[in-house]
């Protein structure tokens, strides 16, 4: 009688398990190796992307912002110096000198006509006015259309005394739109001074030139062209402890508000303060190196950028000096310590680095591909795990069915039934076994019949 076994103890079960294992092992090995290789590649790509991102932040995005700040500063002060050179040329015109001195011929109408013809040399210039040494208006031409009587005596204005000596600039005034208006004053030299310096004054009048702030105008355009950019200007002098805001495109009226406040009440963002601290530290080092002697002080052009994760802002700053060659013209030659306003270009990190989003996409795509490969591997393993036993069970019948037939014949022979036939059709070793078993049964049958006789 055939012994009862569980499926996994049977020949068919063992064959099915073996076929399943044989099918799964290569898949698992290949899958694990592939996943390891892709994970390793992902790590290397991630490291490379991180390095590339940092390099692009420092060498591309931040440098571009720094170039903008430098260009802003250079253009602004080049414009101012060009304006100074042009205005000084007007101040030494003989007709203007004669009018200021009260000499003959002195024709205010001719001078006024001349001033009108020269107004166009600067789009930011709104007026040209000739004043005598007492501050009285002698001739004027302006773009606003107001008469000379509307200007009034200038003797007590903050720029006049310095301008009569050589050159001076008034404190800025601010319009309702936040535009900054400064008044330049240029001394009108006395043509008789060279021949009689003992009895003649060096200067005999002032050329008054109110000018809109070119920095603010240019900065507004730059802020409009670059998304999220805020342009700030700061006048910083560490030796006199001056830290004064000159422009803010995000809040134009802030300059006017802070102008009337004590220094301790003026508000600055932490990022602005970091820039100011770096500039003041560099200037302090220059002063210390010169042992406090102004003649030996050499201020350096200062530039750099700050990435402030806390505020989510990137700031690039540039502060030019006369020694750097960025300030040309009369002012830089006259005052070797001339320093321009520090220009700060501030932009949200998210906006500044938006172009680097493709690097993040690359990492995400690689992660997605790794996850997809893992999912496909799992699906294949599950399908194989289900299909392999079914296929093995069906294929194992070619082995287990002849064996079962031989087992049944052997059972009958063991019970004395010699009239059995082994009917197994197979061309493999199992067929050979069946033939041998059939011959054995025939021999046993012949011997049994011979004994009975």
Instruction: Note the pLDDT tens digit of each residue in 39-51.
Output: 666 666 666 666 6
Higher-confidence position of 250 and 355: 250
User: What is the structure's pLDDT at 49?
Assistant: 60
Average pLDDT over residues 289-304: 80
Given a cut of 70, is residue 238 above it in pLDDT? yes
Secondary structure element (H or E) that encloses residue 48, with its range = helix 11-56
For residues 265-276, give the mean pLDDT: 89
- Tell me, what's the pLDDT at 105? 61
| 0.95 exceeded by pTM | no
* CA atoms within 13 A of residue 217's CA, in its CB half-sphere: 14
**pLDDT: which is higher, 188 or 222:** 188
Task: Report residue 132 CA to chain centroid gap.
Answer: 54
Say whether pLDDT at 85 is over 70. yes
Contacts of 39 (CB under 8 A, 6+ apart): 370
Rounded distance between C-alpha atoms, residue 285 and residue 323, angstroms: 16
Percentage of residues in the chain having pLDDT higher than 70: 71
Contact 61, 335 (CB under 8 A): no
CATH 1.10.8 domain residues, the chain: 397-452
Please state the rounded mean pLDDT for residues 345-368.
Answer: 70
CATH class of 56-355: alpha beta
Average pLDDT score over residue span 82-100: 90
Query: Residue 333 pLDDT more than 50?
Result: no
Which is higher by pLDDT, 242 or 226? 242
Q: Which CATH class is domain 397-452?
A: mainly alpha
Selection from 284, 304, 299, 189 nearest residue 238 by Cα: 284
Closest CA to 418 of 372, 451, 374: 451
Task: Count CB-CB contacts under 10 A for residue 272.
Answer: 21
pLDDT score, position 329: 37
Domain with CATH 3.30.450.20 in the chain: 56-355
244-253: Cβ within 8 A, 24+ apart: 246/172, 246/180, 246/213, 246/215, 246/341, 247/180, 247/213, 247/215, 247/216, 247/219, 247/341, 249/216, 249/219, 249/220, 249/222, 249/223, 250/223, 251/178, 252/177, 252/178, 252/179, 252/216, 253/174, 253/178
Model confidence at 175, pLDDT cuts 50, 70, 90, reads low
- What is the pLDDT, as a whole number, of residue 139? 93
Q: How far apart are CA 185 and CA 210, in angstroms?
A: 8
Give, in order, the Cα–Cα distances in Å from 429 to each of 56, 189, 432.
Answer: 72, 126, 5
């Amino acid at each position: 009688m055939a012994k009862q076994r569980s499926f996994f103890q049977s020949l068919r079960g063992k064959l099915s398990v073996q076929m399943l294992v044989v099918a799964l092992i290569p898949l698992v090995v290949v899958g694990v190796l592939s996943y390891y290789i892709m994970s390793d590649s992902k790590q290397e790509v991630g490291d490379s992307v991180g390095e590339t991102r940092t390099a692009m932040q420092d060498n591309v995005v931040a440098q571009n912002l720094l170039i903008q700040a430098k260009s802003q500063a250079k253009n602004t002060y080049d414009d101012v110096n060009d304006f100074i050179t042009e205005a000084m040329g007007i101040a030494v015109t003989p007709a203007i000198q004669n009018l200021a001195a009260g000499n003959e011929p002195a024709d205010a109408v001719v001078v006024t006509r001349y001033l009108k013809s020269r107004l166009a040399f600067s789009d930011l210039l709104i007026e040209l006015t000739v004043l005598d040494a007492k501050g009285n208006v002698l001739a004027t031409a302006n773009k606003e259309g107001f008469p000379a009587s509307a200007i009034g005596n200038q003797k007590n204005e903050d720029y006049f005394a310095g301008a009569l000596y050589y050159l001076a600039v008034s404190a800025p005034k601010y319009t309702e739109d936040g535009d900054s208006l400064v008044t330049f004053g240029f001394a009108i030299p006395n043509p008789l001074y060279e021949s009689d310096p003992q009895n003649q004054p060096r200067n005999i009048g002032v050329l008054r030139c109110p000018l809109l702030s070119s920095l603010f105008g240019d900065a507004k355009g730059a802020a409009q062209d670059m998304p999220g950019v805020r342009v700030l200007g700061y006048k910083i002098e560490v030796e006199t402890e001056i830290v004064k805001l000159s422009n803010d495109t995000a809040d134009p009226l802030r300059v006017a508000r802070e102008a009337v406040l004590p220094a301790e009440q003026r508000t600055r963002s932490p990022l602005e303060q970091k820039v100011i601290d770096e500039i003041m530290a560099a200037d302090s080092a220059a002063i210390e190196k010169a042992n406090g002697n102004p003649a030996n002080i050499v201020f350096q052009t200062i530039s750099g950028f700050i990435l402030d994760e806390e505020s989510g802002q990137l700031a690039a700053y540039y502060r030019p000096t006369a020694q750097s060659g960025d300030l040309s013209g009369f002012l830089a030659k006259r005052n070797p310590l001339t320093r321009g306003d520090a220009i700060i270009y501030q932009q949200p990190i998210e906006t500044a680095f938006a172009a680097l989003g493709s690097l993040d996409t690359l990492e995400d795509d690689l992660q997605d591909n790794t996850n997809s490969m893992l999912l496909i591997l799992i699906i294949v393993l599950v399908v194989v795990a289900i299909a392999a036993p079914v296929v093995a069970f069906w294929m194992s019948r070619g082995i287990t069915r002849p064996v079962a037939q031989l087992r049944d014949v052997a059972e009958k022979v063991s019970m004395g039934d010699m009239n059995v036939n082994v009917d197994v059709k197979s061309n493999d070793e199992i067929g050979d076994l069946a033939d041998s078993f059939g011959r054995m049964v025939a021999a046993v049958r012949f011997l049994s019949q011979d004994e009975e006789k």
